[in-house]
Every structure is written in C-alpha cells, then in structure tokens.
Amino acid sequence: MQQIAEFQSQYCSNLDIKRICSFDYELIDEKTHALYHQSPRFLYVKKGKAKFMVDTELYEVGENCLLSILPWDCTEVIEVEEALQYEIIKYNYDVVANMLHSIVVENSEEMPILKKLEITPVITLNSGTKKEIESIFTKIKDEVGIESIMQKIDYESYHEIFVCTLVAQIITIFCREIDDNKMIPKVLAEPGDPRALILRFIYMHLSDKMTLDRLSKQFYMSKSSISKYILDKTGLSFNELLNEMRVTKTINYLLYTDFTLEELASILGYVDAAHISKVFAARMDDKIGNYRKTYGKALHVGKINETKKDYKIIEYILRNFSEDLSAQSVADKFQMSLIELNKTLLLQVEKNFYDFLNLIRINKSCEFLIETNMDITDIAIGVGYNTVKTFRRNFVQLRHMTPSEFRNNMSIQQ
C-alpha cells in the first residue's frame, strides 16, 4: 500500500496561531516520509549532509545550504549521510507575500520574486551571504524566541513590521543568489514525478475556478488519474483537498484582515458567504464568526503562571473528548488564555489542544474499529466528530490509512 504523505500544520507556531514568524533548531538523522508543508519556511543547514527531495527535484544538501520551502511543497529526505542540523524559520506566506506585492514593482519581463523560490528552492551561501543570513536568523530568534523551549518573549512595538522585513531580507538575498547562478546542482539525472507539483498549483490558483478539467489540461493527465494521485498521496478526494487548502487561506485572512465573508469568498474561490461558512464549519468544527471573534481578540502574549491545573486540564480532555470541546471552552473552564492552554499542553504532552484532542479521538476510534462492529459513521460521532469527513481526514493523517483499511488490516492480522 502506497505511503500517504503527511500534512504539516498551517500555522507558524503551535503555541500562538497568530504568530507571523517563528524560529527553532531541528535535526534530521534518518530518511523521512513525504511531507506536505502548509506553511513556508527557510532551513539554514549548519552541519550534515543528506539527499533532500523538494517536489520533483533531488538535491545534495549540506553545510551552508539555505532551503526555501513554499506552501504545499512536498519534501522527503531520501538518504542521510551525516545528520542534518539546521535552524528553521517558519513564516506566514500570505502576510509576507502581500507585503512584497505592495512594495515591489516587478518588471513584466522578469520572473516574479516568489516564483524564483519555487523554481530554485536550494542555494549554497558564500562567506559574505552566510554572515548576512546568520545575522538575520539571529535577529529573528531574538525577536520571536525559540519555539521548542517556549521561550517567553515580550514583543516590542512594531513587532509584525520588524519580522516581516527580516523575512523579506532573506527572500531578497535568496533571489540575488539565484540571479548570480549560485544554486547547488541537482543530483538526479532525471526530474522526479511531475505530479508532485499538482498540489502546489492548486494552492497558488485557489482564487480561480479550480476544476479537475483544468488540472487535466495543465498536467496532460486524465481527470481520473489526477483524482487517484491526490487520493493516494493525501487520503483526500479532490474536493476535500480543495476545501482543506481554502480553509488554510481563510484562517490567515480571518486573523490578519477585516475582509467581509463576501469579500473572502471572492478572493478564495468560494461561491458566496454561505459557502465559505459551510466549508469552514465542516473543517474546523466551529462557526466562522466564532473563530474570528475568539482569535481576533483573545490572542495576545500574557504571563504564564505554572500551576497544578496542568494535569486537571489533561484529565478533563481525556474524560470529555467525545463532547463538543473547543480550545476556547476548555480555556474558559480553567480561566486561562488560549496561549496558556496550548503552552500547558505542549509542556505536558508535546501537542497543542487540537492535535492532542484529535490523537485521543483517533486512538479511541481504533479501539471501536478493532473491538466492535459499529458502523464507521457511529464511531465518528461517538468519539466527538461532527462529520464522517472530518473523522476520516484526521484518521488518515494519524494512521496513514482509512478507518475501513485499518479495520480490515487488523481483522486479517487477527
């Protein structure tokens, strides 16, 4: 059975979903499975050597390499010769892209800035550009803190402008290096599977009327072949994937703009305000108005008081996972902010609220699938999901197979 690619979170930070940018240290010491990135990032390799696939091309990545990964790029580490140690900056694509478009007047004969990053995702830094990139990465780290240790940072005034300009500087340096032909050579004699570009193409053209017919003409493939590829890679149908991407973009606009639902529907390819509300509610298990009201006002940096409530919170979620729980309702019950709730869970279970809740629900559903003959719809509702589609999507992402496949495989093994 083909390995289903995982989806990385659409947020820059698990702790604060309104954060525009985050900084962390990471390490890869063995090959990985395919991963689709919903939020973009820069990886600055400090040590190590590995073969790194970005969409259709395989690169030999090592010390002083800078990688740019854009929304819905698919990456996979094919081989690790020496463990990769790198600094990573995740950023909000829509916020930074809108800023660049507003200040850059691009020559019609010249390739757009963000298109350059798409075509050439890896460069090698020389001594001069290395110092520049290290300086910018350090400034971002000092401004936003280190994500994995949940370093407390009191944001100064104009924080958003400052981090956006720093990310823009990285993009500028990257593009200048591309113009000077300082990218590293590809190590494959032949390009990889061109179908890997399908998901990114869909994401970049969400405001258009995206159909299987259009994709068929764009990639010279039959509609059935494209549908099968999307299902095999993501576990989602074409329409489910389209809605997943639209909701990701919708969240960014809800957090950072005052556009009405009608305006958002036009920008993001929905039919109308009713359509965007319906899709959002099915994906997020929350009304779009509630979401904007909650996160538009409630998210702010606050002081975190360590208390003995931590385990009570975890126990509460474990006992009530099948109920209509939301991060806001749990935060309200324990009289804390959303950031405090997520920080508590990240410290105790290494997951934010929604990831933890989904894990509990999917684990419980596995018990039902193995031990009972319950219908899958009844299992979905029984563990707390409002729709079978939501249940199925989360199950596939955590178990890399559908609920039916899981039940059948376990039956065979028994």
Q: What is the pLDDT of residues 69-115, one digit of tens each?
A: 999 998 999 999 999 999 999 998 888 887 777 676 555 456 667 77
User: Does residue 198 contact residue 230 with C-beta atoms inside 8 Å?
Assistant: yes
In the chain, % of residues over pLDDT 70: 87
User: Does residue 65 contact residue 184 with C-beta atoms inside 8 Å?
Assistant: yes
Mean of per-residue pLDDT scores for the chain = 83
No. of helices (H) and no. of strands (E), the chain:
18, 8
The SS3 call for residue 84 is strand
Range from 161-175, 240-254, 288-302 carrying the lowest mean pLDDT:
288-302
Q: What is the radius of gyration, based on Cα positions, of the chain?
A: 22
Could you tell me whether strands 21-28 and 73-91 are parallel, antiparallel, or unpaired per DSSP bridges?
Answer: antiparallel
What is the identity of the amino acid at 154? D
Give the residue among 195, 206, 174 at the shortest CA–CA distance from 41: 174
**How large is the average pLDDT for residues 391-400?**
87
Question: Where does residue 250 rank: exposed (0-12), middle (13-18), buried (19+ CB within 10 A)?
Answer: buried
Q: What is the pLDDT of residues 25-38, one digit of tens each?
A: 999 999 998 899 98
The topology under which CATH files domain 309-413 is Arc Repressor Mutant, subunit A (1.10.10)
User: Does residue 48 contact residue 63 with C-beta atoms inside 8 Å?
Assistant: yes
305, pLDDT greater than 70:
no
Alpha-carbon dihedral angle through residues 34, 409, 393, 55, given to the nearest 10 degrees? 10
| Cβ count near 154 (within 10 Å) | 8
Winning range, highest mean pLDDT, from 72-86, 209-223, 304-318, 346-360? 72-86
Distance separating alpha carbons of residues 12 and 2, to the nearest angstrom: 29
412, pLDDT greater than 70:
no
Q: What is the pLDDT of residues 194-238, one digit of tens each?
A: 777 888 888 887 776 788 988 988 888 899 999 998 998 888 899
Distance separating alpha carbons of residues 357 and 359, to the nearest angstrom: 5
pLDDT value, residue 165 = 93
What is the identity of the amino acid at 72? W
pLDDT value, residue 382 = 93
Distance separating alpha carbons of residues 63 and 171, to the nearest angstrom: 19
Instruction: Please indicate whether the domains covering 195-298 and 309-413 agree at the CATH topology level.
Output: yes
Partners of 36 in the β-ladder: 7, 74
Instruction: Write out the CATH class of domain 195-298.
Output: mainly alpha
pLDDT value, residue 99 = 79
Residues 6+ apart with CB under 8 A from 350: none
Residues 6+ apart with CB under 8 A from 138: none
The arrangement of secondary structure in 6-179, i.e. its CATH architecture, is Sandwich (2.60)
pLDDT value, residue 258 = 72
376, pLDDT greater than 60:
yes
Q: What is the pLDDT of residues 236-278, one digit of tens each?
A: 899 989 888 888 888 877 877 777 888 788 777 788 889 899 9
Return the domain boundaries, the chain. 6-179, 195-298, 309-413
Q: Which residue has the tokens 């065979």?
A: 412
pLDDT value, residue 192 = 63
